[in-house]
Structure 1
């Protein structure tokens, strides 16, 4: 059972995590092209001057379905939300 103190700590940690990620919902890894080191989520674009990381072909069906790849590339500064 969560005590009031533990609940407050959990809420603060979650808030810090969301603010560090810009509160962005990356979704999950339920797509066909997960864990391939390319972001398949069409909500993102490559950042000019970086190696990038966007897949060459994007499909709206992959929205929020490639979280690990997109989050890692976003945190590295190689891709950004549109």
Structure 2
């Protein structure tokens, strides 16, 4: 399993990008043996950080309600 950030589009940008849809997909992560690390629900970002199978990453990337899926990891600045 790898760590990913899953960010959803705004509901006004896609009709299925609802809080219920985010909850549904986060439950799928857990059903597939993954773990939700953090939920994001702010004006600037809606989604979650999770460790999950790569197959779910591929599935989520094809979901039109999802803005992006990217690898999660440390960020550094100099």
Structure possessing the higher radius of gyration over alpha carbons: 1
After TM superposition, the score normalised by the length of structure 2 is 0.24
After TM superposition, the score normalised by the length of structure 1 is 0.23
Whose strand proportion is higher, 1 or 2? 2
